[in-house]
Amino acid sequence: LIETDAVNGPSVYDLAAAVDPDVALVCLSHVNYRSSSRLDMAALSAVAHDAGAIILWDLSHSAGAVPLHLDRDGVDLAAGCTYKYLNAGPGAPAYLYVARQLQRQLQQPIWGWFGQRDQFGMGQGYDPVPDVRRFLSGSPPMLGMLAVESALSVLAGAGVEGLWAKSQRLTELVIDRFDAWLAPLGCRLATPRENHGAHVAIGHPHAYQLCRWLIEQNLVVADFRPPDILRLGPAPIYTRFIDVWDTCERIRDALSSGNYLDVDASRGRVT
Ligand SMILES: Cc1ncc(COP(=O)(O)O)c(C=O)c1O
């Protein structure tokens, strides 16, 4: 486990100092779930490779908002969920990426008929498909798959480059309003100004109540992460600039008036 800067995440120097020939696998999040820091995928993958390790990237907070070039950037493995910027909803299936040269070497620990070369042979033993399909196991969850299909068709129509261009402008607007309105009211920016993903983390001692107030009384679905982070994730496919503006304005007014402190401060399991 690498202890790194809480906002910026691990640098190539941090990783280079942590890996040695005993390390087989490096796991990193491309965009950090809390701070939104967006790591240099190519550079960090190269550091892992130089030390003789392979690298697995968690793309849960990237896919659907941030362009990814897994082959170009030397990624070995990647995984993520489909219920954030991919919009398929909780319970929709996760995904796995395995670089072509590793597909035959890596073993699937869950032996199921969908990964079997002759799926309907029903014979003895396990003879996996010699490509990425070996990582399938049993019947897919169809309702979740249908949600992924519909959600991805909308995203593909928009194009990830366009979504990313909009996302950068949305987060720029959050940071601009943070500087103008929220920093003077005791908020701290917990996201790097450069190299971030599609969300912005704002630190405030009463972030939990602020978050609940936004959800319960303003129809703004923000998120809280302990101890004091309010996450604003303006998904570029459906969030308008005016929505970001209005949200920041409401946060400003709430902090000035203190009215959000009426919200129940007892913590639920999920925010
Ligand atoms: C970094 C990261 N990885 C993965 C996931 C998805 O986890 P799961 O598929 O268990 O819901 C999340 C969800 O919040 C996440 O933040």
Listing DSSP states for 39-95 in one string gives --HHHHHHHHHHTT-EEEEE-TTTTTTS---TTTTT--EEEE-SSSTT---TT---E
Tokens of 100: 């072509």
3-class DSSP state of 27: strand
> In whole angstroms, what is the distance from residue 166 CA to residue 243 CA?
13
Atom of ligand 1 nearest to the CA of 32: 1
pLDDT value of residue 267: 87
Among 33, 35, 77, the mutation site with the greatest number of ligand 1 atoms within 8 A of its Cβ is 33
Residue 96: which residues within 8 A CB-CB, separation 6 or more?
77, 78, 79, 132, 135
pLDDT value of residue 190: 98
Residue nearest to atom 9 of ligand 1 (CA): 81
Distance 261 CA to ligand 1 centre (A): 30
Distance 81 CA to ligand 1 centre (A): 6
Q: Residue 197: which of 96, 87, 102, 84 has the closest Cα?
A: 84
Ligand 1, residues at Cβ distance < 6 Å: 29, 33, 58, 60, 81, 94
Residue 51: which residues within 8 A CB-CB, separation 6 or more?
16, 19, 20, 21, 23
pLDDT value of residue 75: 98
> In whole angstroms, what is the distance from residue 117 CA to residue 133 CA?
9
Q: CA distances (Å), 88 to each of 184, 200, 236, 261, in order? A: 37, 22, 15, 33
Written as one letter, the residue type at 214 is: L
pLDDT value of residue 23: 97
* Blockwise average pLDDT, block size 10, the chain, 271 residues: 90 96 97 98 98 98 97 98 96 96 94 95 93 95 96 96 98 98 98 97 97 95 96 97 98 97 88 77
How many CB atoms neighbour CB 238 within 10 A? 10
Residue 31: which residues within 8 A CB-CB, separation 6 or more?
37, 38, 39, 61, 62, 66, 196, 197, 198, 199
pLDDT value of residue 258: 96
pLDDT value of residue 1: 86
**Tokens 């909780």 sit at which residue?**
90
pLDDT value of residue 99: 98
